[in-house]
Amino acid sequence: MDTAVVVVWLSMVITILSRSHADRNVYPSAGVLFVHVLEREHFKGEFPPYPKPGDSSNDPITFNTNLMGYPDRPGWLRYIQRTSHSDGVLYGSPTAEHVGKATIIEITAYNRRTFETARHNLVINIMSTEDYPLPYQAEFFIKNMNVEEMLASEVLGDFLGAVKNVWQPERLNAINITSALDRGGRVPLPINNLKEGVYVMVGADVQFSSCLREVENPHNQLRCSQEMEPVISCDKKFRAQFDIDWCKINLVDITKVVTIHSNRPDPGTGVLPDIGEYNPPSESLKSRDFFADFLITLAVPSAVAMVLFTILGYSMCCRREGVIQLVHHSSIQKSTKELRSMSKNREISWPLSTLPVFSQSGEVVPPIHPDNYETTSMPLMQTQTNLQNQIQIPQQQPSGDRDNYCMSTFRRLEVNGIPEERKVAEALNL
């Protein structure tokens, strides 16, 4: 066999063996918080190296998790991954109903650079505990944390240590962690490093301490109703690292099955209810014929439209009132058309203010209008002496002697060759 073929065959076998990892088993306890980190470093060996040395750590990798044979995870198990360059986290609180049942989670890693995938199986074996459930449970709302930050082991350990200092129990466990977004909270604005907030439920085997009960006194209840921070003596033990909203603390005594303090309605545990297995529809379903529905959808509106059109046509064309309306409308259109045609054919006279005035030489300027132009008045003009076309008329002297007259000169006007005598007659009648 050729050496090159052997090398290729061996490389394919090594790749297949490297991707066929054995199932990983974990053993969480019922009623105790379960956290499993999907590390990107663990999956980098599944994909070919980056061409440049040292850059393989920058490959964007995302994860998809689901219950084997189903499209989603169990109701008690959640998953979060902020970016493709951060690790994914599976977390949740299993209940006693899942004890003794092996839950197989399929984990599929996607390399967004090479578009290759790698699949592992995580087998969750839920164990029972003697102290389940812990009788006294307290839920805190931490405003300055995101859920993936709180799931880190060192951060969660610091919080449980602070709770143990103010509660002093013999056994203390983290029961559940829920993001505020899963409780109906809003996404914070990307300013001032605002966080979404997280609910942390812890359980203990002793009664609540006096510090935790301080929120129940009337003074703190009044401050909470006014949206003011209550005065809690043990808040300084948390304030250095955790900003707790004491008005939202929830204390529950399971032995009495009553809520000792609940300033707001119970938001729930954050665990989805178990509604059973998913039953897909049968493959033997018959296809439905929508042709009849299509015809009905078109036929009914079309029939109604035809009936209305027939009624309107009968009213306008066959009834006396409709015929009268049509004739009246036709006569209006005919008259309008006739008036428009007449207005187009008529000649519009120029205003007298635009007529030319006699030149300084006394010559008459020919008219610029057609010969059929008629006017009833002319603009006043200056009198000129020693010009042709002038008429001298007698004028009464101011002395009152009617026999003595002086001659007054008036300009003889011509319009289209016709002398204008109107002003001379008016002057004689003075």
pLDDT tens string 212-246? 889 888 898 899 999 888 998 888 889 888 999 99
Digit-coded pLDDT (tens) for 86-113: 899 999 988 888 888 888 999 999 988 8
Q: For residue range 178-187, what is the model confidence (pLDDT) as tens digits? A: 998 888 888 8
Rounded average pLDDT over 14-34: 67
pLDDT in tens, 297-330: 998 899 999 999 998 888 777 777 767 777 777 8
Q: What is the pTM of this model?
A: 0.55
The encoded tokens of residue 310 equal 């027939």
Q: How confident is the model at residue 269 (pLDDT cuts 50, 70, 90)?
A: low
Q: How many CB atoms are closer than 10 A to CB 88?
A: 23
CA dist., res. 45 & res. 194, Å (int): 36
> In terms of C-beta density within 10 A (0-12 exposed, 13-18 middle, 19 or more buried), how is residue 256 classed?
exposed
Region 270-279: mean pLDDT is: 68
Phi, psi of 411 (to 5 degrees): -75, 130
Domains of the chain: 16-125 (2.60.40.10), 136-261 (no CATH), 380-430 (no CATH)
As a dihedral over the C-alpha atoms of residue 141, residue 145, residue 146, residue 148, rounded to 10 degrees, the angle is -110
User: Is 34 in a helix, a strand, or coil?
Assistant: strand
CA distance 408 to 392: 5
* Residue type for position 354: T
What confidence tier does 273 reach under pLDDT thresholds 50, 70, 90? low
Q: Could you give phi then psi for residue 120, rounded to 5 degrees?
A: -125, 160
Q: How far apart are CA 379 and CA 264, in angstroms?
A: 96
Mean predicted lDDT score pLDDT of the chain: 75
Residue 84 CA to residue 111 CA, distance in Å, equals 9
Instruction: Provide the pLDDT for residue 380.
Output: 47
Using H for helix, E for strand and C for coil, what is the string for 186-251? CCCCCCCCCCCCEEEEEEECCCCCHHHHHHHCHHHHHHHHCCCCCCCHHHHHHHCCCCECHHHCEE
Per DSSP, what are the bridge partners of residue 420? 413
Residue 133 pLDDT grade (very low, low, confident, very high; cuts 50, 70, 90): confident
Contacts 24+ apart (CB under 8 A), 188-197: 195/143, 195/144, 195/145, 195/146, 195/149, 196/146, 196/147, 197/141, 197/142, 197/143, 197/144, 197/145, 197/245
CB 241 within 8 A of CB 150: no
Cα torsion 39, 44, 50, 52 to 10°: value is 60
